[in-house]
Structure 1
């Protein structure tokens, strides 16, 4: 899959007053993908060290990054979407619900490979791990009786809908929240995880919430609906849009942005990787992650919802949450299913 090209890349780099105040602190210039599964020893400034921070102003922005000037309005609704719900599981067998997938012998799942805790590649083993990876394997278990019958494909955040519409993947499990715009092009399972939208900030910045911001540049990932959430909540701030969330983390570490605005589940993974950052502020919105499914493939929707119903009731969901997310975010239970009304005539 070719990567999208962006116009209007801004060469200059703005360093906020709060970031510049973090003098003497060495930069963790490490891409988050290489951090996944690894421990990081933070480099703290030496006592009495009055040296200036590294000169990062001349470093280029991450490839494909775009800086939006303040005042750009959201290009889609940011209000909560009154979603009618998904299809209720039926009593059919997987062989009848998804005959093409069953005959193929594996399910093709679009995922990320760098979102620590959710879907990331373990540097030690090369294996994909995380909450969303485990969920994909549970779906495969219910279709084939074997959880390893999964063909994982990396899908860029901005290409999730396209991957489903074009048939590159059977389903997408990649922090894909339910929005009105996406629901017009693809179908969704019932939600499998809820996440609030918050801020990731350098611990040394002492930013505790939106009320503490001055002129910090905010970073978000292109293709995420948090772009519009950030535009709605921070109209006076520059927005740095990067191709991936890991590029956002790198921009934060290099003082090219003062904070990230994103889903708490994603930010918690970054904070676990980089001890010099922390998740802060009150939630701006709530995201409902669901499995993306090609439009009109009702049998697959019912099959996925059947798995989600099982893992919610047999303790599997709780075990997955405890293993991956429990140590890093507030406790929660599996989202309650939302099913649409159906005409059974």
Structure 2
């Protein structure tokens, strides 16, 4: 390989010297140009490394300790207080719980805006809608003569009881199952809906029932009664808890859990969002949803039961079911109330 050497300029100031200087300068230009043209091989770069991290939803917990299964039989949990005479809207009895709610101008309702079909935010309008929302609006209509006099407080399943005990909400209408344990801390209306616990899995999972959940990761929202019941039915299931049911769906889609188990009404809302998941297996239990009310507010329990009676008899219950829950198939209608007085 030839090499270009750049000469040093001589100091002769004669004509001959000037010619030499010009020659030297020309050589320097050539040297510079040549240097610019020399290409050295670039160092080898390491091969690119790509990997995907599946983020775990905030607040998710794995290997949830065993919880007691919920009970409804030992205390006749679904029996409630008989409705009293219904006052005219906006004319609540003086000193009553309803009069206090009327006085502060709005019904404060605890619910979840991530429970598709029961309570969710419409992405187009921003309005909170669903079956539970229709129940809340019926209570507001009976108190204020205005179904929109409602303030919604978003609660996780685990926060419902505390919100009622602390009186940060007037009622909870959030797929809340009536159980003997919960009745120690809060009061309930008569049931307004009956759901059944089932299993949600991907279509290629091979899971067909509770027996197939041995050693599998099963998701449920923290505070749900479905955790204790599933642990009773399948002690070898590895329970994973999240803050919301939507988080369970995300973990199922990302293969971080193998199944989700809770009420079929909630699972149907998750399945509607993803065609690759399905409800499998027989019903595992019956879940009776009631309106949660602070303990000791018997007048409010009777009032809400009166509202629910009107909701059933007027056909509003069936219209709400047809609008939001028809994906679950035909219904035998609303549950009939049982009163203990």
Normalised by the length of structure 2, the TM-score is 0.79
Instruction: Kindly state the Cα deviation for residue 207 of structure 1 after the two structures are TM-superposed.
Output: 2.5
Following superposition of structure 1 onto structure 2, how do residues 104-123 of structure 1 map, counting pairs within 5 Å? 104-123=104-123
Pairing partner for 2:58 from 56, 59, 63: 63
Q: Are the aligned partners of 2:213 and 2:236 in contact in 1 as well (CA < 8 Å)?
A: no
Residue number in structure 1 paired with 2:180: 180
SS of 2:289's equivalent in the other structure is strand
Q: Are the aligned partners of 2:78 and 2:178 in contact in 1 as well (CA < 8 Å)?
A: no
Residue number in structure 2 paired with 1:143: 143
Matched, 1:75 2:68: yes
Deviations 1:196-245 (A, max 9, x none): 00000101224222244453211111111111011111211211111111
Alignment partners' CA distance in 1, 2:199 and 2:239: 14
Instruction: Kindly state the Cα deviation for residue 185 of structure 1 after the two structures are TM-superposed.
Output: 0.6
Unmatched 5+ stretches in structure 1: 1-53
SS of 1:322's equivalent in the other structure is helix
Residue number in structure 1 paired with 2:310: 310
**Shift in alpha-carbon separation, 1:84–1:268, aligned structure 2, 3 A:** closer
**Shift in alpha-carbon separation, 1:79–1:304, aligned structure 2, 3 A:** closer
Pairing partner for 1:95 from 86, 92, 95: 92
Instruction: Kindly state the Cα deviation for residue 175 of structure 1 after the two structures are TM-superposed.
Output: 0.7
Instruction: Kindly state the Cα deviation for residue 330 of structure 1 after the two structures are TM-superposed.
Output: 4.5
Q: Which structure has the greater CA radius of gyration? A: 2
Alignment partners' CA distance in 2, 1:146 and 1:171: 17
Q: Are the aligned partners of 2:111 and 2:154 in contact in 1 as well (CA < 8 Å)?
A: yes
Q: Are the aligned partners of 2:69 and 2:232 in contact in 1 as well (CA < 8 Å)?
A: no
Pairing partner for 1:85 from 79, 85, 90: 79
Residue number in structure 2 paired with 1:17: none
Alignment partners' CA distance in 2, 1:239 and 1:74: 10
**Shift in alpha-carbon separation, 1:252–1:84, aligned structure 2, 3 A:** closer
Ranked by relative contact order (alpha carbons within 8 Å, sequence separation 6 or more), the top structure is 1
Normalised by the length of structure 1, the TM-score is 0.78
Deviations 1:233-281 (A, max 9, x none): 1211211111111111111000001110111000000111111111111
Q: Are the aligned partners of 2:70 and 2:225 in contact in 1 as well (CA < 8 Å)?
A: no
Q: Are the aligned partners of 1:84 and 1:340 in contact in 2 as well (CA < 8 Å)?
A: no
SS of 2:140's equivalent in the other structure is helix
Deviations 1:145-202 (A, max 9, x none): 1111111111111010110111110000001101111100110000010000000010
Deviations 1:63-112 (A, max 9, x none): 2111117xx54335456452262111111525114110122222111111
Question: For structure 1, which segment, 228-237 or 316-325, has the greater mean C-alpha deviation from structure 2 after superposition?
Answer: 228-237
Instruction: Kindly state the Cα deviation for residue 55 of structure 1 after the two structures are TM-superposed.
Output: 7.2
Q: What number of residue pairs does the alignment pair up?
A: 285
Q: Are the aligned partners of 1:78 and 1:228 in contact in 2 as well (CA < 8 Å)?
A: no
**Shift in alpha-carbon separation, 1:64–1:84, aligned structure 2, 3 A:** closer
**Shift in alpha-carbon separation, 1:84–1:198, aligned structure 2, 3 A:** closer
Unmatched 5+ stretches in structure 2: 1-49
- Aligned-residue Cα RMSD (Å) equals 1.9
SS of 1:198's equivalent in the other structure is strand
